[in-house]
Amino acid sequence: MGIKDLFRNKSSEKKRVLAPPARAPPTLAIPVHVSPAQYGVDTRHSVAKRVPRPVSTASTASTNILTNERPWLAVQALPSAAVSLDRSTMSGSSLSQHGQTQSLPRVLEEAAPTRIRPTTIVDAPVSVPAKYLVGIDFGTAYSGFALFRVPEDRRSGRTITLPRIMPGSTNNLTIFGKTDWKDHPQGVFSEKTPTVLAYRNGDRSNGILEDNCRWGWTAKCQNNDASFTRLERIKLALEPSTPLELRPAIPAGMDITDVIADYLALLREEILYLITSTSPMDNNLQPDDLLLCMTVPVGWSQQAHQNLRRAAAKASLISDENSRHLLFCFEPEAAALACVHESLFQMVPGSTILVVDCGGGTVDLFLSRLDNVGELEELTVGTGDFSGATIVDAEFQKFLGAKIGKNALDAFKTLPKLRERYALLEMQWESKKRSFSGTEDFLITLPVALQQVMDPEKVQELEELEINVTVTDMLSFFDPAVNRIVQLIKDQLRQANASPWVHESKITYLYVVGGFGSNKYLQQRINSDRQIKELVHKFVTLQRPEAAVVHGAVWFCLNHQSIKSLRARKTIGIGVQRYYDPARDHVSEITARDPRNPARAYVAKSVLCFLNKGQVVTNNAEYKCSGFKVYGDAWSDICVSVYTSDHTPSPSSSNRLEVDECELLGTITIEVPANLRGGPLPTFTIEIGHGRVELTVCITEETTKQKWTKFLNHGSFKVQT
């Protein structure tokens, strides 16, 4: 068996991703009471006690009715069917709203309002069986992985029974990675390799064998073969909000998810090779033998996360897109775990830690407090933007283009007789960039053949074909990114200073990590800034700051709950109906009328918020909405709209936002099994779990307990058995 055969996608279940319907189907009247319970992390769910809340009545076919007091979901049916509410439960008590009396079930009226009380499960084992824990840092400029081999006596049953590892106590734990990458430059020993792919003739259809595809240092350094088309910064193509000037050029006909899948498949081969080299007995691993954690930037959208998960499945790192063997962790959170566990000193409980993860494409910040049991609690909503080392590279490219001319620079990169010399210049620049401390300059010597493609005036300006890159020039390359990073840190510290959850006047520790975070000039600028010094007790540097994220990803697998709580990055809610208001709604937007009071109309323009931005999200918590009911034999699918927002509802809004304040995250389609159609009225519970990075959706038919589970991606998808 070859190494490429070790991982095969064994899932026989065909997943379907469907486009939204061309025409919106009619909405259904579906009663629902909200029962907040444990708010979910990844795919492990705790059982929540249901405490019903009052709901109002509604009726008639193909309508959806929502009162302003209690939530009714704006849910759609496919295909259109005549439906109505189950009235058998809608009697016995009443609730007055806007002068109208509405019938309510007695049991719901008597229930007390509930509060969300998430809890943390301490010392819980990793919830999936695995032989290796793998951290993967898929970066903009460089990528790498780190491994932990689960001891044989800890691989029992359906879980990994590893004890919690407290900060400062490694228990001789060994996390290891790869440093001897093929074709790495002399003197460079890093746990990362360039995130670069090169396809022969720009065609990926011939596979990833070496004759057709190069990657890593091989693709970056060996640039003299004109038959290969090189792709860089491919990670940035995953995120729709990436600035245009930073987006990579992807050849026509190539799908970015497939390109990244190719890179991850090559990285997977290195993972397997390192495993079999160090532990020959582990030579027949399957995808579910690994528990992976991939790190992602804080500011990424759900679409980027889902595309990365899809690429991992295509690369056979996981058995299918819904595999529980792939976790996501935000990059600065992973770095924080490495800082806590791999620092050379013992942190005192109560210490506050600001981690600034400076990578190739993005910069992310994470502020947390270490509690008494060694867990981290996020104190403010993390921030970040596109201020990584890619900005420095772009400034250098603009400088070089101004010196030799844009057309000459393009020829320098692409002409066969010049490509090899350009590759050497890239390595020279990479070395000078990494070592720059604020005082160094360097000299670039250009090849004679470059004169043939330069404009005459440029040739005259560079008579000796030398460019002296002065300290002032170097500062002009660095300062746009460095100034922005310094400002991000100041803003985060000010936010912490004004936060009611941060009681200390100074942050205890500030760590700068990541590949760009290793740069001496960046570190010096941060450490010497007067305003930052006033708000930080101690600046700390890890021995290998560039490996902090990938090591932290392994720590996340080891101590899955060592980040006790986070702050919600977005408000999350479900589309619902509200009363028609002629002052702000058009009559054409009316979607339903109350048949008992035709003057009362409704519009589908409200969002019921389950979780508000900035709210504490604890481990193993989830929200549930129960009581989805429909009538009729013709219905087969039900759709629910999920929204996110940077806004939070006002205290007087009954925890609602307007649709125009939100962004549609996806339409969740429940495909109802044929055996439930035409039988007794089914009732569904929809549960949305907010994982570390992803949302999960679990739908349960309450009578049969039949379940459907899906990771929520951007757009529409089917939820099937």
Q: Name which of 90-104, 469-483, 505-519, 591-605 the model is least confident about.
A: 90-104
Confidence of residue 16 (pLDDT cuts 50, 70, 90): very low
pLDDT, residue 676, reads: 60
Q: Are residues 299 and 226 in the same domain?
A: yes
CA distance 52 to 625: 10
Tell me the backbone φ, ψ of residue 327, rounded to 5 degrees: -110, 155
In a domain, 532, yes or no: no
Tell me the average pLDDT across 442-455: 93
Containing structural domain, residue 146: 132-343+547-560
Q: Are residues 457 and 579 in the same domain?
A: no
Confidence of residue 665 (pLDDT cuts 50, 70, 90): confident
Q: What's the pLDDT tens digit per position in 358-373? A: 988 889 899 999 888 8
Q: Are residues 680 and 606 in the same domain?
A: yes
Q: Are residues 608 and 553 in the same domain?
A: no
Tell me the average pLDDT across 197-204: 87
Residue 592's DSSP bridge partners are 602
Q: Are residues 402 and 338 in the same domain?
A: no
Last residue of a domain, one of 477, 499, 525: 477
In a domain, 410, yes or no: yes
In a domain, 60, yes or no: yes
Confidence of residue 427 (pLDDT cuts 50, 70, 90): confident
- What's the 3-state SS for 238-255? HCCCCCHHHCCCCCCCCC
Percent share of the chain, pLDDT over 70: 72
Q: Are residues 70 and 219 in the same domain?
A: no
In a domain, 233, yes or no: yes
Q: Angle, to 10 degrees, between the axis of helix 471-498 and the axis of helix 389-404?
A: 150
Q: Are residues 142 and 42 in the same domain?
A: no
Name which of 140, 169, 127 is nearest 41 in CA terms: 127
Maximum average pLDDT range among 97-101, 122-126, 297-301, 448-452: 448-452
Last residue of a domain, one of 477, 496, 522: 477
Mean pLDDT of the chain: 75
Secondary-structure percent of the chain, ordered helix, strand, coil, rounded to 5 = 30, 30, 45
On the 0-12 / 13-18 / 19+ scale of CB atoms within 10 A, 651 is exposed
DSSP 191: S
Tell me the average pLDDT across 417-443: 90
Q: Are residues 179 and 325 in the same domain?
A: yes
The pTM (predicted TM-score) of the whole model is: 0.69
Contacts of 40 (CB under 8 A, 6+ apart): 620, 621, 622, 623, 687, 688, 689, 690, 691, 696
Tell me the average pLDDT across 468-472: 96
Q: Are residues 84 and 41 in the same domain?
A: yes
Q: Are residues 197 and 294 in the same domain?
A: yes
Q: Are residues 221 and 73 in the same domain?
A: no
How many domains in the chain? 3
In a domain, 331, yes or no: yes
Q: What's the pLDDT tens digit per position in 295-319? A: 988 778 778 888 999 999 999 999 9
Residue 403 has pLDDT above 90, yes or no: yes
Confidence of residue 683 (pLDDT cuts 50, 70, 90): confident
Q: What's the pLDDT tens digit per position in 579-600? A: 899 999 999 998 778 777 888 8
Tell me the average pLDDT across 200-214: 83
Tell me the average pLDDT across 431-440: 92
Last residue of a domain, one of 534, 560, 586: 560
CA distance 477 to 482: 9
